[in-house]
Amino acid sequence: MKQEQKHQFSGRVSIFQEVRLPETALPVGYAALIAAFDLQVPLPLILCAIGAKHKVYEQNGWRIYTPRHEPSATIEGHLVFALKYEGLDLVVLKRFFEAVDQAELEIMIQAKPNSSYMRRIWFLYEWLLNQQLDIPDAKTGTYAKIVDPKLQWAIKGTTSTRHRVRNNLPGSRDYCPLVRRTDALNAFVASKLDEQAKAVIGRISGNILARTAAFLLLKDSKSSYAIEGESPPHDRIQRWGKAIGEAGKHPLDEDEFIRLQRIVIGKDDRFIKMGFRKEGGFVGEHEQETRMPLPDHISARHDDLSDLMRGLISFDHDYASEIDPVIASAVLAFGFVYIHPFEDGNGRIHRYLIHHALTARGFNPTGLAFPVSAAILDRIDDYRRVLETYSERLLPLIDWKPTAKMNVEVLNDTGDFYRYFDATPHAEFLFECVQRTVEHDLPDEAAFLERYYIFKSRVEAMAEMPASTIDLLFSFLKQNNGQLSNRARAKEFCSLTDDEIEEFETTYQEVFLIEAK
């Protein structure tokens, strides 16, 4: 029986799974397979359809192709369209492979043994399901890349002689998020922000650079706690700052993750179970009266944590060095926070992993931690929206029930949702944060410290004053736009003469209000 008769693909629609199309169009590629096989998967961020116009355009999460792009209404037609125009969506492909008849795929693949698309589909089936199709090893055909590097970021990879393909997937079966090539990401990578950062610090004196690095490290540590809505004691902030300063120096493994959690939590762990979770987890609130969970995000099942964390660690060890450092950081850090392996401390460790990946690959200058958390804190709404790009699509697919402790127990198989997500929005957001750090935070902080030490040296030349008192003088002048308030004149600085105060005010205005312009 022909495939055309065995599978019913939908016709033109104006609404697809509650998502409105820009025009009445024919869903194709992954959208068609999702509908025909009722696949319970997070919808791809960009769905494809065939429109009536003779131009390709994107709108509201849809890429509308022209009539000449329309594939045949078969499994083969839609699979080839997806691989050619959409790249790989490993969750959709795995759920499709589990749903389709194995013999049907075998017939389809063997009918075109020299087709690179058929050999890629064949490899992906066996790689994702970890089982072989009843097909003899390929004898001919040019080696095809599993990931199309024009569509998605990939590694050099290794060859599979059975399929005559090159497996350039940037991850293992346990953990392999993918990132699409977008104009924004291509531009960010081409801008070479790491070289820009090195050029900036090359213009800064050693003394100023050391103090800039220390300040930015403390700023990042404070910001990381502030993102979580916490104001911990200063010693915990300093300890976490020290950990960030050592990021990239220690290989990731389970012991390292638990060490980091211990630093985040501190000594008082009476109400927190340390180590990887032994039960479910979620991010959200509880209903006030019933205490029922109201999740915004549901963490990976604790039964899946061992495989997922092994895959995440393998990504860092074996794959991250072959892709752009910022993209690798996004894949590592945002994957971790979606998995949420700990009962507490996930958010700060998630942001630590950004530092780890950037430093381990030599992206940021030696001894300097980019204050990424500070940039995130300033864009907290954008940060949450990026997290929600996946959480909102994931949540409706998770079957769960409340536990006696008002936690959540996940009832369905969700592991693939955490190992195979689209990390494109996360990579773009992280690049924006790193760009702000390189172009603004680093040079601005260095320039400020240079001006501050000019101010400090001039004050010391005019009066014997401890460093702490000079800091206080600076704070008062800053608060009042270069003027010392009457209250400060009467109290903290009552021993100063009017001439000295006028000199200090003039110095501040010259250094910070005139030179800074």
**What residues does each domain of the chain span?**
1-88, 207-266+274-437, 463-514
Extended strands (E) in 394-466: 400-402, 408-410
Q: What is the pLDDT of residue 1?
A: 34
Query: Over the stretch 49-101, which tens digit does the pLDDT of each residue have?
Result: 999 988 999 999 999 999 999 999 999 999 999 999 999 999 999 999 999 99
What does CATH list as the number for 207-266+274-437? 1.10.3290.10
| SS3 state at 308 | helix
DSSP for residue 82: I
| SS3 state at 144 | strand
- The mean pLDDT of the chain is 92
Which helix (DSSP H) or strand (DSSP E) does residue 293 occupy? strand 293-298
**Residues of 343-376 as b/e, b for ≥16 C-beta within 10 angstroms?**
bbbbbbbbbbbbbbbbbbbebbbeebbbbbbbbb
pLDDT at residue 266 greater than cutoff 80: no
Token pair in block for residue 407? 């936690």
Token pair in block for residue 328? 């690798």
**Contact, 407 vs 282, CB < 8 A?**
yes
**Residues of 413-431 as b/e, b for ≥16 C-beta within 10 angstroms?**
ebbbbbbbbbbbbbbbbbb
Question: Does 40 or 228 have the greater pLDDT score?
Answer: 40
**Average confidence (pLDDT) over 347-363:** 92
Radius of gyration from C-alpha coordinates of the chain: 28
Question: Does 438 or 94 have the greater pLDDT score?
Answer: 94
CB atoms within 10 A of CB 77: 18
Alpha carbon distance 517, 513 (integer Å): 7
Long-range interactions of 15-19: CB distance < 8 A, separation 24+? 16/47, 16/49, 17/43, 19/43, 19/47, 19/61
Residue 6's pLDDT band, with cuts at 50, 70 and 90, is: low
pLDDT at residue 515 greater than cutoff 70: no
**Average confidence (pLDDT) over 127-155:** 96
**Can you give the pTM of this predicted structure?**
0.91
Beta bridge partners of 143: none
pLDDT at residue 210 greater than cutoff 60: yes
Estimate to the nearest angstrom the gap between the alpha carbon of 349 and the chain centroid: 13
Q: What is the pLDDT of residue 211?
A: 80
| SS3 state at 494 | coil
